[in-house]
Copies of this chain bind each other. A is one copy, B any other.
Amino acid sequence: MTETRWLNEVTWDDQGLVPVIAQDADTGDVLMFAWMNRDALARTVETGEAVYWSRSRRKIWHKGEESGHVQRVREIRLDCDGDVVLLKIEQEGGIACHTGRRSCFFTRLHDGAQWQAVDPVLKDPKDIYK
């Protein structure tokens, strides 16, 4: 039987989810933010690759299943309240974002007044999702 006591120590929200931050294990760049349910977190540990819960599609989502941009998990951390997970990952292909950029956080607030996309598209999404 798989030991799952550690899963009970996560504080799941009223929808059974926990927010997850995916951070590049080497550079420290924050690449992505997503959600997991209990099953997704268990599968993440079992497979060693990030598995999320898609709130829009309402299903388990093995990151990279279409794009090939899987996230190999080097470390899993939990915050002081037990209700946020931090993954330290190696990003296959160097692209985490569905826009073809390295990180989803490519938009910066300029002069406290205007959002600007500041990071480059590394690969055309049309060539990622064929």
- Whether A21 lies near B9 (C-beta < 8 A) is no
- Whether A80 lies near B98 (C-beta < 8 A) is yes
A1 at the B interface (CB under 8 A): no
- Whether B33 lies near A30 (C-beta < 8 A) is no
A19 at the B interface (CB under 8 A): yes
- Whether A6 lies near B113 (C-beta < 8 A) is yes
What residue of chain B has the Cβ atom nearest to residue A78's Cβ? B107
Interface residues of A in 36-54 (CB under 8 A from B): 45-46
- Contacting A97 at CB < 8 Å: which of B19, B29, B80, B112? B80
List chain B residues, Cβ under 8 A from A77: 105-109
Q: List 16 A-B contacts (CB under 8 A).
A: A9-B115, A19-B19, A19-B33, A21-B33, A23-B28, A45-B109, A76-B108, A76-B109, A77-B106, A77-B108, A77-B109, A78-B109, A80-B104, A80-B106, A84-B104, A86-B105
